[in-house]
C-alpha cells in the first residue's frame, strides 16, 4: 500500500525525495446537534435586519461548526538521496507505524 504516494523506486535509484507525513492524535471531540429550527441558534433579541447588516444573506448564510476535534498533529519531514534499500524499508515501516531505529551506516 502506497497511500502517501512515495516513489520507492526513485529512492532506491538515489534521487532526492522529500515527503511530509502528518500524524494526528485526537484526545476528544466536542459535537453539537443542529436544532430543528435554524433560528434557535440565535437569541430572541437578534433580528433578521441585524444579521443582514452583518453580511448574512442567501448567498452567505450563517455557519455552525458542529464538530471540533482537540488533540495534536505532528508533521514529519522525510528527505533522502540515499540509494540504500534500508531507507525504503524505514519509510515503509514508518507508514505502518512500526518502530524504526537509526544505525551508523
Q: What are phi and psi of 35, to 5 degrees?
A: -75, 165
Partnered with residue 17 across adjacent β-strands are 80
Q: What is each CA distance from 58 to 35, 43, 48, 55, 61, in whole angstroms?
A: 19, 20, 12, 10, 6
pLDDT in tens, 74-98: 888 877 776 666 766 777 777 776 5
Residue with the three cell numbers 537509526? 102
> What are the boundaries of each domain within the chain?
8-95
- Residue 11: exposed, middle, or buried by beta-carbon count in 10 A (0-12, 13-18, 19+)? buried
Asked if residue 100 has pLDDT above 50, the reply is no
Whether this model's pTM surpasses 0.85: no
Amino acid at each position: 500500500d502506497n497511500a502517501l504516494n512515495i516513489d520507492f523506486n526513485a529512492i532506491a535509484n538515489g534521487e532526492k525525495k522529500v515527503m511530509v507525513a502528518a500524524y494526528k492524535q485526537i484526545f476528544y471531540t466536542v459535537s453539537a446537534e443542529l436544532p430543528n429550527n435554524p433560528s434557535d441558534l440565535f437569541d430572541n433579541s437578534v433580528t433578521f435586519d441585524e444579521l443582514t447588516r452583518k453580511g448574512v444573506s442567501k448567498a452567505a448564510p450563517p455557519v455552525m461548526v458542529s464538530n471540533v476535534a482537540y488533540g495534536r498533529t505532528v508533521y514529519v519531514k522525510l528527505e533522502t538521496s540515499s540509494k540504500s534499500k534500508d531507507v525504503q524499508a524505514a519509510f515503509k515501516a514508518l507508514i505502518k507505524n512500526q518502530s524504526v531505529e537509526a544505525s551508523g551506516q
